[in-house]
């Protein structure tokens, strides 16, 4: 049986408004990476796919790449681009 890890996803700005929550805790298969979460969110919220693709991703308050592996208790922040001027 594959172990699960608990990860918190934090949403900001327009993404927080579109999803309707500031953060969410999820259980993921051990060995999941950042891209696993992003793909899952794009499947759940197809209208946000472009925004997710353009967002900055921070893992435990440091910018992360999509292939970065997740560990138990990690905090993933999805920060959409800022518009306006």
**Rounded-to-integer distance, Cα 38 and Cα 59, Å:** 13
Report pLDDT for 2: 76
- Average pLDDT score over the chain: 94
* pTM (predicted TM-score): 0.89
What the chain holds in terms of domains, given with CATH numbers, is: 4-79 (3.10.20.30)
**Rounded-to-integer distance, Cα 44 and Cα 71, Å:** 22
Report pLDDT for 85: 52
70: its two tokens: 């997740």
Report pLDDT for 84: 54
Q: Are 76 and 10 in contact (CB under 8 A)?
A: yes
**Rounded-to-integer distance, Cα 31 and Cα 20, Å:** 28
Average pLDDT over residues 55-69: 97
Give the tens place of pLDDT for each residue, 13-38: 999 999 999 999 999 999 999 999 99
């Amino acid at each position: 049986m594959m172990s699960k890890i608990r990860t918190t996803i934090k949403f900001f700005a327009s993404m927080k408004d579109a999803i309707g929550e500031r953060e969410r805790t999820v259980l993921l298969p051990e060995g999941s990476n950042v891209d696993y979460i992003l793909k899952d969110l794009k499947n759940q919220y197809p209208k946000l796919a472009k925004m997710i693709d353009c967002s900055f991703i921070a893992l435990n308050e440091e910018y992360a790449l999509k292939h970065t592996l997740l560990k138990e208790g990690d905090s993933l922040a999805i920060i959409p681009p800022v518009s306006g001027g």
